[in-house]
Amino acid sequence: VITILTGGTGGAKFVDGLRRVVPPEELTIIVNTGDDHEWWGLYVSPDVDSITYVLANMLSNERGWGVRGDTFHCLQAMKELGEPAWFSVGDRDLATHLLRTKLLAEGRTLSDATAHISQKLGVRSRILPMSDMRVDTHVDTPAGDLSFEEYFVKRRYQDPVKAVRFVGAAEAVPADGVLEAITSAQAVFLAPSNPVTSIGPILAVPGIREALKATSAPVVAISPIIGKAAVSGPAAGLMVAQGIEVSISGVAAAYSDFLDVLIADLADSALAESLASNRPQVHCTDILMRTAEDKARIARTVLTLALPEILAEPAAEAQ
Amino acid sequence: VITILTGGTGGAKFVDGLRRVVPPEELTIIVNTGDDHEWWGLYVSPDVDSITYVLANMLSNERGWGVRGDTFHCLQAMKELGEPAWFSVGDRDLATHLLRTKLLAEGRTLSDATAHISQKLGVRSRILPMSDMRVDTHVDTPAGDLSFEEYFVKRRYQDPVKAVRFVGAAEAVPADGVLEAITSAQAVFLAPSNPVTSIGPILAVPGIREALKATSAPVVAISPIIGKAAVSGPAAGLMVAQGIEVSISGVAAAYSDFLDVLIADLADSALAESLASNRPQVHCTDILMRTAEDKARIARTVLTLALPEILAEPAAEAQ
């Protein structure tokens, strides 16, 4: 079993690559839920949804979130009813939120709801929310204390970031199966996700970081940073606010207590060499994922580094 | 002010006629909520919605319910997720249910939610649910005790009806404004709605029937029955189960304690004459509403009978 820690659009792209080169039954994905929020009275779990949709081959590639080819008629009607409309929910996407909210209202856990929905959509990988308890990522800015989605979507991450907090993390426990998925994995991958608000909330759940240190599996991260900038999204500003250098060096330092290998871009080869004496080991390749071929190639590179034997026989690539 | 008691598709058609010939501010509509039910975790109020949509000029004329031109992508996605899909909710229609459910969850009453939504949609008439307390119409059949929507939509009213019950009616109180809208009206109209499951639940709320008896306004009903059959829907079978004759004579008897005038179809002229000595007075006209012109004509007929002075000056007809 290969276990992936993920969040955000970079994470979904990486998982998209893996599902193309590994039998999906072999993948367990531990997903950030710090972005979860209530919208129109429904429980929305953006990162869980993106991973579910990508594994169900339903994710919109253009948008990087939501359902491919979805319409937005309910959203338009909500707008006309005077309701907030800054968080885009498609009509098909809405079904996922409705069903999850109903299952949670019936007393099911987020893990149960996630398993139920992904199974109905034909997903054969295992998707685990990091915790069944609420952990809310808050971004403290001069404009106030914002929920992650307010900061990221509503205000398009334009506010200077003073601090990031994971409200509820200290009291949270990992969802069933999360620790075991890390300790019993053949390999653990950290997707090229924002280290602060995608991987950060996962690591803030007590026990998960310890499991990463304890596991005998190789732990491999793909850098979300190339040079001095994030491949996409608000990672750079958030890293600065958390005192993390915006470079592969900063990423390596943030994960230094458990990371074995960092996959960096070829553009960072010089810096990679200067880091050579320390853990983690740094391996450079082209890490930009533009096409399905890019995604599969990176997945194969990561697998080869972590589990040379797994790719010994050429796998039939999935669509 | 003109007050209308209504439910079902016949009721929406009648209100559609009235809004074309009377300033909408003059109309107060008291609506059946016995069909209200939870669907996908949302609070759906089918008759309130139909009246809201017709007054907002949004009702689908082809279907007689829901929003004109609506799509059903969320419904399709729910079906694919294995959820029940026998109750059709359109994508735009869904916004109404989401907002209502959210307002109720915030502690607002159904009256408040109805006023909020109708105001946002530009409705200038007053729409009052019969009660802010739950009254659930149950239909007892050989197949079991069904909710009204199960009987009507899911099973297409094919089950023999043993009895009809309005669960919660005895403890319910009329919503704010309902009794006053009846007692202070210039005229009270009963739409050509099913007397058992559309008008019946309204009359089952303690105080409403008494207000109809007490009001000094003329009370005029349009028959939902022509000859020995309902114009549409399951009224006939439900009337038989309640011991009401399926004829204008049965309708007159059901409302005899408060009704002044019954508008019947020309096809029932002979029977109307035989009823001439009793209350209510029966007036025959063509009551089938196929077109917008039919609806407006019937609205004018009813108004002329109830309030001859109101149509003295030719009104500018609304679209």
What type of residue is A285?
T
> What are the tens digits of pLDDT across the range A185-243?
999 999 999 999 999 999 999 999 999 999 999 999 999 999 999 999 999 999 999 99
CA-CA distance, A71 to A73, in Å (whole number)?
Answer: 6
Count of CB atoms within 10 A of residue A100's CB? 26
Give dist(CA A182, CA A213) in Å, integer. 10
Contact B102/A at CB under 8 A: yes
Task: Locate the chain B residue with the closest alpha carbon to A75.
Answer: B95
pLDDT of res. B292: 94
pLDDT at B319: 46
Q: Is A115 on the interface with B (CB under 8 A)?
A: no
Interface check for B270 against chain A (CB to CB < 8 A): the answer is: no
| Helix (H), strand (E) at residue B179 | helix B178-183
Predicted confidence at residue A245, as pLDDT, reads 96
Strands B2-6, A281-285: pairing kind: unpaired
Q: Cα distance from A86 to chain B (closest Cα, Å)?
A: 15
Task: With a cut of 90, say whether residue A122 has pLDDT above it.
Answer: yes
Note whether A78 contacts B: Cβ–Cβ < 8 A.
Answer: yes
Chain B residues lying within 8 Å of A78, measured CB to CB: 95, 98-99
* B17's tokens: 């006629």
Q: Which residues of A touch B74 (CB under 8 A)?
A: 74, 91-92, 94-95, 98
Write the single-letter amino acid at B197.
T
d(CA B210, CA B205): 10
Q: What pLDDT digit, counting tens, does each position of A287-304 carry?
A: 999 999 999 999 999 999
Give the per-residue pLDDT at B106.
97
For the stretch B15-70, pLDDT in tens is 999 999 999 999 999 999 999 999 999 999 999 999 999 999 999 999 999 999 99
pLDDT greater than 80 at residue B310: no
Confidence of residue A319 (pLDDT cuts 50, 70, 90): very low
Please indicate whether, in this complex, the C-beta atoms of B91 and A96 are within 8 angstroms of each other: no
Tens of pLDDT, residues A90-114: 999 999 999 999 999 999 999 999 9
Tokens of A237: 């500003």
ipTM > 0.90, yes or no: yes
Instruction: Work out the burial of residue A230: count CB atoms within 10 Å of its CB; fewer than 13 is exposed, 13-18 middle, 19 or more buried.
Output: buried
The alpha carbon of residue B89 is apart from the nearest alpha carbon of chain A, in Å, by 11
Instruction: Tell me if B41 and A102 make a contact (CB, 8 A cut-off).
Output: yes
Q: What is the pLDDT of residue A90?
A: 98
Residues of B in Cβ contact (< 8 Å) with A105: 41
Say whether A99 and B42 touch across the interface (CB within 8 A).
no
Share of chain A above pLDDT 90, in %: 94
Å from B118 to nearest chain A CA? 9
Q: Which residues are paired to B146 by β-bridges? A: B139
Residue B312 pLDDT > 90:
no
- pLDDT over 70 at A312, yes or no: no
* pLDDT band, very low/low/confident/very high, at A276 (cuts 50, 70, 90): confident
- pLDDT confidence of residue A311: 55
Average pLDDT, rounded, for chain A: 95
Closest alpha carbon to B279 in B224, B198, B219, B222: B219
Per the CB < 8 Å rule, is A81 touching B42? no
Each residue's pLDDT tens digit, A125-179:
999 999 999 999 999 999 999 999 999 999 999 999 999 999 999 999 999 999 9
B98 to A74: CB separation less than 8 angstroms, yes or no: yes
The model's pLDDT over B217-262, given as tens digits with 9 standing for 90+, comes to 999 999 999 999 999 999 999 999 999 999 999 999 999 999 999 9
> For residues B299 and B17, is the Cβ–Cβ distance under 8 A?
yes
Q: In Å, what is the CA distance from A316 to each residue of A1, A20, A303? A: 18, 9, 15
For A38-60, the pLDDT digits (tens) are: 999 999 999 999 999 999 999 99
Give the pLDDT of residue B139. 97
pLDDT, one tens digit per residue, over B105-139 is 999 999 999 999 999 999 999 999 999 999 999 99
The pair phi, psi for residue B137, each rounded to 5°, is -75, 125
The confidence score (pLDDT) of residue B311 equals 55
B residues 37..66 contacting A (CB < 8 A):
40-42
CB contact under 8 A, A102 and B71: no
Structural contact between residues B97 and B41, judged by C-beta atoms closer than 8 angstroms: no
A chain contacts of residue B95, beta-carbon cutoff 8 Å:
74, 77-78, 80-81, 83
Backbone Cα Rg of chain B: 19
**Res B27: pLDDT:** 98
Model confidence at A254: pLDDT above 50: yes
pLDDT given for residue A277 in this prediction: 75
| pLDDT of res. A278 | 76
Q: What is the pTM of this model?
A: 0.93
**Chain B, nearest residue to A101 by Cα:** B41
Among partner residues A74, A81, A117, which is closest to B74 by beta-carbon distance?
Answer: A74
Rounded to 5 degrees, what are φ and ψ at B183? -75, -25
Band of residue B279 on the pLDDT scale cut at 50, 70, 90: confident
What does each C-alpha distance from A69 to A45, A95, A293, B227, B260 come to in angstroms? 20, 15, 22, 51, 57
